[in-house]
């Protein structure tokens, strides 16, 4: 058998990058502890299996030292006010897939002489917060009375209106179509990739629906400012990066306008009851509701911080109890890919401008029959 010399630090790096425990890999690869300890080496077949298990390009494992994988967009994430250092394989693969989709759509839009997306670059931090939120609502109207009966209704309606404004919107809780690779909301909640012809927003669908709504608007603000960002919006801090804090504030004003909020304030209500009422009325998360109560002065900082911490613990438990994505494949895949991209890829393929193999890769399908059914559901055949 051919054995491959692999440096132990590369194996440890791949394990950490994949977010896997040593025990999990030792169960799958009984000789793993020997590989890491330098007393044994994997066979070529074992190394290939290890690379697949850790979602690592096999060539990386043959390097002298772990590679530096730079993120392709500005990273605004923090955990406890500290920047997140190493991106996971799941995050990187999701970013790269979205880059490929954006590149394809940019070329498609250019070839079809589509206009630049008017929303991009319409906001700047020179604007007062309420003026910025109002300007954003002119590009993407989202009045309180048109948000539907549930948080899912509100999210779907806003997603579609952003799509109508020319933005590619993708929502998924997994990497590609691999249901075994669930994205972690604690690592990131969304990102924005700015482009004049193909601006893109990705929202982590493993998060709660109410949290997804805030992330969607937060990323929309980044695009309206003409910038890209990788985010895990934190509403519990007073001081943050200037751009990130400003995006949070504009998103909060967009979703829960201060004027409308003041009309429903009740000095006799408990914090928890009022937060629930605001969340139901505006179809936002209770965390966003609490932040807006602080923003308008109904809560002092100490009381807000305590209430936010308690609610965050409760919400985190609820999110952890959520299962993997399910439901109808075609409906789910349209959300993962986004209607705008799906329509463009299908139309281009049926016109003979895009190869079916490229369309399958872009849409996350493997068979002609699946492609045809998706096209049928979008009204093309």
Note the pLDDT tens digit of each residue in 95-147: 999 999 999 999 999 999 999 999 999 999 999 999 999 999 999 999 998 99
| Those residues with Cβ within 8 angstroms of residue 357's Cβ, 6 or more apart along the chain or in another chain | none
For residue 316, what pLDDT is reported? Answer: 67
What six digits make up the tokens of 96?
């790269």
84 closest CA partner among 92, 65, 20, 290: 92
Tell me the CB-side half-sphere exposure of residue 287, using CA atoms within 13 A: 23
**H-state helical runs in the chain:** 8-18, 22-28, 32-37, 44-53, 89-111, 129-139, 151-164, 209-224, 242-255, 258-262, 271-282, 286-295, 301-320, 329-337, 339-350, 356-363, 368-377
Within the chain, which residues score under 70 in pLDDT?
78-85, 237-241, 316-327, 381
How do strand 190-193 and strand 178-182 relate by DSSP bridges? unpaired
Closest listed residue to residue 94, CA positions, set 146, 20, 172: 172
Q: Which CATH architecture has domain 8-62?
A: Orthogonal Bundle (1.10)
pLDDT at residue 325, rounded to an integer: 57
Q: pLDDT tens digits for 162-181?
A: 999 999 999 999 999 999 99
Distance CA 245, CA 233 (A): 9
| Segments making up each domain of the chain, as ranges | 8-62, 78-320, 329-377
Distances (CA, A) of 299 to 46, 245, 293, 303: 58, 19, 6, 6
> How far separated are the first and last CA of the chain, in Å rounded?
53
Is the C-alpha dihedral spanning 320, 155, 376, 174 positive or negative?
negative
C-alpha 12/C-alpha 10 separation (Å) is 5
Identify the pLDDT of residue 327.
65
Name residue, tokens 């992330």: 215
User: How many residues appear in the chain?
Assistant: 381
Please name the helix (run of DSSP H) or strand (run of DSSP E) that holds residue 170, with its range, or none: strand 168-172
Buried b or exposed e, range 270-288, using 16+ CB within 10 angstroms:
ebeebbebbbeebbbbbbb
Q: Is 167 helix (H, G, I), strand (E, B) or coil?
A: coil
CB 333 within 8 A of CB 363: yes
pLDDT at 270: 92
Say if residues 62 and 143 touch (Cβ distance below 8 Å). Answer: no
CA dihedral 117, 137, 336, 354 (to 10 degrees): -20
């Amino acid at each position: 058998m051919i054995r491959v010399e692999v440096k132990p630090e590369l194996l440890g790096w791949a394990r950490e990058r994949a977010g896997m425990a040593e025990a999990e890999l030792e169960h799958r690869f009984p000789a793993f502890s020997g590989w890491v300890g330098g007393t044994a080496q994997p066979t070529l077949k074992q190394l290939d299996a290890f690379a697949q298990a850790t979602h690592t390009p096999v060539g990386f494992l043959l390097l002298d030292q772990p590679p530096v994988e730079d993120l392709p967009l500005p990273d605004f994430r923090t955990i406890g006010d500290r920047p997140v250092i190493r991106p996971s394989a799941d995050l990187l693969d999701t970013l790269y897939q979205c880059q490929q989709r954006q590149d394809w759509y940019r070329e498609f839009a250019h070839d079809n002489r589509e206009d630049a997306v008017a929303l991009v670059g319409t906001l700047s931090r020179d604007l007062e917060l309420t003026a910025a939120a109002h300007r954003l609502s002119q590009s993407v109207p989202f009045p309180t009375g048109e948000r539907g009966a549930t948080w899912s209704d509100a999210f779907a309606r806003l997603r579609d209106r952003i799509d109508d404004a020319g933005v590619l919107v993708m929502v998924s809780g997994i990497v590609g179509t691999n249901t075994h690779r669930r994205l972690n909301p604690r690592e990131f909640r969304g990102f924005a990739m700015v482009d004049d012809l193909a601006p893109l927003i990705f929202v982590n669908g493993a998060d709660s629906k109410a949290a997804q709504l805030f992330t969607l608007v937060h990323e929309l603000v980044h695009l309206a400012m003409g910038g890209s960002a990788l985010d895990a919006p934190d509403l519990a801090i007073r001081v943050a990066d200037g751009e990130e804090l400003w995006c949070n504030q504009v998103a909060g004003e967009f979703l829960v306008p201060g004027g409308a909020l003041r009309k429903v304030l009740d000095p006799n209500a408990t914090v928890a009851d009022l937060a629930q009422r605001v969340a139901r009325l505006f179809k936002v998360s209770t965390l966003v509701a609490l932040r807006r109560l602080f923003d308008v002065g109904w809560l002092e900082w100490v009381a807000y911080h305590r209430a936010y911490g308690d609610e965050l613990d409760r919400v985190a438990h609820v999110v952890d109890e959520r299962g993997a994505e399910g439901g109808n494949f075609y409906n789910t895949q349209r959300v993962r890919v986004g209607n705008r991209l799906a329509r463009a890829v299908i139309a281009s393929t049926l016109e003979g401008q895009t190869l079916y193999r490229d369309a399958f890769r872009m849409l996350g399908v493997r068979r002609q029959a699946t492609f045809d059914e998706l096209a049928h559901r979008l009204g093309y055949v």
